[in-house]
Amino acid sequence: MDDKTFEELRKIVYNLSGIRLTDQKKALVSARLNKRLRALRIDSYNDYLEYLINDREGNEIIQMIDVITTNVTSFFREADHFDFLKEIMISWVNSGYRRFRIWSAGCSTGEETYSIAFTILNSIPTYADMDLRILGSDISTDVINRAKKGEYDEEKMRNVPYNYQKRFFIRTIENGQVKYKVTDFVKNYIIFRRLNLSYFPLPLKGPLDVIFCRNVMIYFGSSIRESLVRELYRLLKPGGYLFLGHSESIIGMEVGFKVVKPSVYLKPSVEKDEE
């Protein structure tokens, strides 16, 4: 792929998804787009660019983003976040709260979203009077479809405690391969949908109690990052929590969050704001 074609592709991806493709990603993008060229029987990157520009339905844009988006995820990644989530939930339940709205932004193939559900369902002894809804979203239609399926191979289960495996999964063997399927009991609390985090205002209704937006903002430029953080602040309830990736920070952004611990932020309550 020549520099001119890469620059045009980079502009398209940024304008439609907010994702920055650095010069260092050129080889990766070229290698991954080869899959699309073969599938479409297109001979060159220039021809593919023309095909992309003329795609009025926008289907190929989605396919391209699916191909080039990196999806590195696992169950209970950055495990201390889930320990803190457990503390939060127990505190809220003990204070009489029963309605919870949680968003897993950039959920990839669902491991984070399901980890949130497992943590909550294992922390709270009864569910009858709990109104829990968890949203998992991602820009990639491919990973959203896989998240909805909720099926994982044995390797993916390394970080899942054994009692969670027994309680929240159904173990099957298909064509000699061991598979773990998330139970419908867990899935009933979750909705997965495609959502572009770079289009503002975000098409969500608040207030939300907890937002996980981890290892997502590293793909965005500074202006989109700050706009996104402001949207997350808007959507959270006073007293709600934002979880970012351990390598991410909002230091320097005049937003209003209070640091609770590394990569965990609190939207102050109204009472504190008035003090």
Q: What is the pLDDT of residues 102-145, one digit of tens each?
A: 999 999 999 999 999 999 999 987 666 889 999 999 988 889 99
Catalytic residue (one of 20, 32, 194, 230): 32
Asked whether the predicted pLDDT for residue 255 surpasses 60, the reply is yes
- Residues 194, 131, single domain; the answer is yes
Can you give the residue range of the structural domain that contains 23? 3-68
- Residues 20, 64, single domain; the answer is yes
75 within some domain: no
193 is catalytic: no
- Residues 61, 127, single domain; the answer is no
9 within some domain: yes
- Residues 48, 89, single domain; the answer is no
Per-residue pLDDT band for 272 (boundaries 50, 70, 90) equals very low
- Identify which has the larger pLDDT, 152 or 18: 152
pTM (two decimals):
0.85
Say what angle helices 59-68 and 141-149 make with each other, to 10 degrees.
Answer: 70
41 is catalytic: no
- Residues 234, 121, single domain; the answer is yes
Domain final position from 68, 93, 114: 68
Share of the chain above pLDDT 90, in %: 60
- Residues 50, 108, single domain; the answer is no
Asked whether the predicted pLDDT for residue 275 surpasses 60, the reply is no
Domain final position from 48, 68, 88: 68
Catalytic residue (one of 138, 146, 209, 214): 138
CATH number where 14 lies: 1.10.155.10
